[in-house]
Amino acid sequence: MSVGGPTPGDELGGYRIQAVIGRGGMGVVYRAEHMTLGRTVALKVVAPELAADPGFRERFLREARLAASLDHPAIIPVHDAGEERGVLFIAMRLVTGPDLGTVLRGSGSLPTGRTGDVLAPVASALDVAHRRGLVHRDVKPGNILVEPPADSNDAERVFLTDFGLTKRTDSLTAITRTGMFVGTLQYAAPEQIRGEPVDGRSDQYALACVVFQCVTGRLPFGGESDVQMMYGHLSLEPPPATSVRPDLPAGLDPVLARGLAKAPGERFPSCMDLIQGLREALAPVRTRLVPPPAAVAPTRPAPPPTPFAPPMPAAPSVAPIPGAPWPPPQPATWPPPQPATSPWPEYAGSAPAPGPRASWKPALLVALAGILGLVAVSGAHFDEPGPGAALLAGPQLILAALLAISRGRAARLTWSGLAALTGVFDVVVAAGVSETPFSIEAVGAAVLALAGAVGGFRSAPGPAKPRA
């Protein structure tokens, strides 16, 4: 093994190193194969300077044991942990997919509904750990691994890694004696920054930061420097998510504000409660986020299916600018106008937008039925054409025309109801004037009535009036 750590082909703790997967704050992660079992794993090898600290070594192995004892589908299975020739390592399930940090770097944010889907398993895993008294301490997108389904019978899996494996050197303080923060500052709870005891609620704060980032594409407290970021976590109100993405439902803001509360006691009772709040706040999005007609050009081809959103359009900086009003002024209308090419697949993937124009299908149905009715009426009274036939067919055609040009569900229901009524009237009349009660006229009129009703009831949903 070289001084710079293991290299491909080296052997460590019964594993053969194959390749470097990535580098993190604590060391290097390799793909490696167990030499007797043949199982391929992710082998995290701790940086030598950390491994040299006896306190760290002891805590690392203890927490690896604790993490391995947690049985949850979203907690990365830990197969092994140990030390060989002073090199500390931990072997875990190899996840064949990107971490959420990589995903967000590529896409900016997640499609709105997807945030809950990806983070619910993480929240559930955290709650299980918290009930066992274990705190993760480093919840961040880089520690959330997303494995795509292996085949069509499989489902996506999400894993939380690095339980308790922060590179901190003291069990209570996050700031070292030299004043350097050793956790991941972007997601650190105020109490963690202050070096106070942490518990599950500190993980919840970090998770709320991740939620914020997933839905907006920005961190709640960004800033140019670590000091600015720390100041944000410690002293600033988190910006409303809707100030970054005004199309998000306003109900999301209080949910994130609670998850990001400075005082742990003001946060949700559990991480799943935070995700539940998120889902409830986003629930109306699928029905409320009806794109205005301009957002979905009729000829625009559907984008290729992708599990993640394409990059966010430029959004205002999250960090408050000194002197500027905060929160920034909100647009008066909701939802705000969307760009012609919507960056959010939940828009693009939805059915064609119901615009103010009536659908042609019910109108065509009714018009055809009207003609059929006319033909039927004329046929039945072939020997006595004239006002009798027109009397019966006229109202039907007028109603059909009204139905064809009417806008909005209420109007169509009215016209189709009247069409149905006159159809019934026709049936009654036909039964009286024809030789047999079920003459072709009666059948034609019944078809007309049915078509009127079906056409009206199946008309495009919702009123055409613009939303407030």
Instruction: Give how far the C-alpha of residue 308 lies from the chain's centroid of Cα atoms, to the nearest Å.
Output: 9
Other C-beta atoms within 10 Å of 314: how many? 8
203 lies in the binding site for Mg ion (CB under 5 A): no
Residue from 5, 6, 24, 456 in contact with ligand ADP (CB under 6 A): 24
The residue among 133, 142, 189 whose CA lies nearest residue 164 is 133
444 lies in the binding site for ligand ADP (CB under 6 A): no
**Least distance from C-beta 92 to Mg ion, angstroms?**
10
H helix or E strand, kind and range, residue 366: helix 360-380
Stretch that binds Mg ion, among 15-23, 107-115, 141-149, 300-308 (CB under 5 A): 141-149
441 lies in the binding site for ligand ADP (CB under 6 A): no
138 flagged as catalytic: yes
The helix/strand/coil state of 99 is: strand
**Residue 379 near residue 389 (C-beta atoms within 8 A):** no
166 lies in the binding site for Mg ion (CB under 5 A): no
Q: Which residue has the tokens 């065509």?
A: 364
Half-sphere exposure of 452 (CA within 13 A, CB side): 32
Q: Which does 416 bind (CB under 5 to 8 A by kind): Mg ion, ligand ADP, none?
A: none
143 lies in the binding site for Mg ion (CB under 5 A): yes
Determine which one of 53, 117, 127, 138 is catalytic.
138
- 23 phi and psi angles, rounded to 5 deg: -120, 140
Interaction residues for ligand ADP, span 65-104 (CB under 6 A): 76, 92-95, 99
Interaction residues for ligand ADP, span 343-362 (CB under 6 A): none
H helix or E strand, kind and range, residue 78: strand 78-84
Q: Which does 319 bind (CB under 5 to 8 A by kind): Mg ion, ligand ADP, none?
A: none
162 lies in the binding site for ligand ADP (CB under 6 A): yes
The helix/strand/coil state of 153 is: coil
418 lies in the binding site for ligand ADP (CB under 6 A): no
**Least distance from C-beta 134 to ligand ADP, angstroms?**
17
User: Helix crossing, 271-288 with 200-216: angle to 10°?
Assistant: 20
CA atoms of 364 and 271, how far apart (whole Å): 53
Residue from 162, 247, 426, 441 in contact with Mg ion (CB under 5 A): 162
CA atoms of 212 and 259, how far apart (whole Å): 10
Q: Which residues are catalytic?
A: 138
Can you give the binding site for ligand ADP, defined by CB under 6 A? Answer: 21-26, 29, 42, 44, 76, 92-95, 99, 142-143, 145, 161-162
Can you give the binding site for Mg ion, defined by CB under 5 A? Answer: 24, 143, 162
